[in-house]
Amino acid sequence: FDDRDGVIWFDGEFVDWRDAKIHVLTHGLHYGSCVFEGQRAYGGVVFEQRRHHERLHASAEMLGFSVPYSVATLDAACEELLRRMAFRDAYLRPVAWRGSEMMGVSAQDNTIHVAIAAWQWPSYFAPEERMKGIRLDLAEYRRPDPRTAPSRSKAAGLYMICTISKHAAEKKGYADALMLDFEGYVAEATGANVFFVEGGRIHTPLADRFLDGITRQTVIALARAKGLEVIERRIRPEELDGFEECFLTGTAAEVTPVSEIADWRFKPGAISLGLLEDYMAAVQPK
């Protein structure tokens, strides 16, 4: 990924893609003092850009540091980055981390760095699988208790268990893994939120102990706008037996139907596909 043409916005300036480097003694690398965002541009406009940058700020605050660029500055940086990369449809990755001045656990005065890269990432899951529904395994690790970690932050450190879980699932031929929360309720996939459909009603886990996705919130609003009932609640894994449809939501995943979770089976149906269509319409620039 580091060897390609283009530019990356790095601490307020545009640098050549290949020169956007950091030192090996970076606090963010050693101790996970790093937060990031994932956003998508459609037709040259980043969907919900402001909310993503506000969330980047909030994620950093939960880790005890402040992003040294305002939301407006980050918005402008993304717009200019898209122009320079000549992208209309792209994925953008802002990232903020503690620098390399001090190498202990404590690094109160380390410089906070921020970078934004953009690349073309048409589909998070293979397009041919997406409409048939993707297959998920059940992850071994659980999402951490909010008393164990700032579990609502989009913190790089929290993705350690996501990568372990996703790799384990991929080794068994699955596209991704469903993770439970610390109490054993259904939580989310490794990079997307999860929804279920039963009898025309939509059920999704309460997002008070993991990332409350911006796509999740958008899809809930779209569903309610068309008169569908959306119930946010604790969901036990045994209940998966009774659900007819299942789908994931996320900036990268957009709306992706799920056909299997371990031994449970679902059919990509009218509600999932309808919300996929509604979402793809909603993200288009107005």
Contacting positions for ligand PMP (CB under 6 A): 38, 188, 191-193, 211, 213-216, 249-251
Cβ–Cβ < 8 Å for 73, 21: no
Please report how close the Cβ of residue 249 comes to ligand PMP at its closest, in angstroms: 6
In the complex with ligand PMP, the residue whose CB is nearer, 27 or 55, is 55
Cα–Cα dist 274/83, whole Å:
32
Identified catalytic residue from 132, 154, 267, 286: 154
In the complex with ligand PMP, the residue whose CB is nearer, 215 or 272, is 215
Please report how close the Cβ of residue 151 comes to ligand PMP at its closest, in angstroms: 10
Look up 286 and say whether it is catalytic.
Answer: no
Please report how close the Cβ of residue 193 comes to ligand PMP at its closest, in angstroms: 5
Using CB positions, name the residue nearest to ligand PMP: 213
Please report how close the Cβ of residue 113 comes to ligand PMP at its closest, in angstroms: 21
In the complex with ligand PMP, the residue whose CB is nearer, 85 or 155, is 155
Q: What share of the chain is helix, strand, coil (3-state, %, to 5)?
A: 30, 30, 40
Residue 6 backbone phi and psi in degrees, to 5: 130, -170
Amino acid at 286: K
Please report how close the Cβ of residue 67 comes to ligand PMP at its closest, in angstroms: 17
From residue 273, alpha-carbon distances to 95, 122, 133, 217 in Å are 32, 18, 10, 17
Cα–Cα dist 80/47, whole Å:
15
Cα–Cα dist 46/72, whole Å:
13
In the complex with ligand PMP, the residue whose CB is nearer, 107 or 214, is 214
Q: If we measure between CA atoms, which residue out of 166, 126, 118 comes closest to residue 8?
A: 118
In the complex with ligand PMP, the residue whose CB is nearer, 83 or 224, is 224
Cβ-based burial of 106 (10 A; exposed 0-12, middle 13-18, buried ≥19): exposed
| Residues with active-site annotation | 154
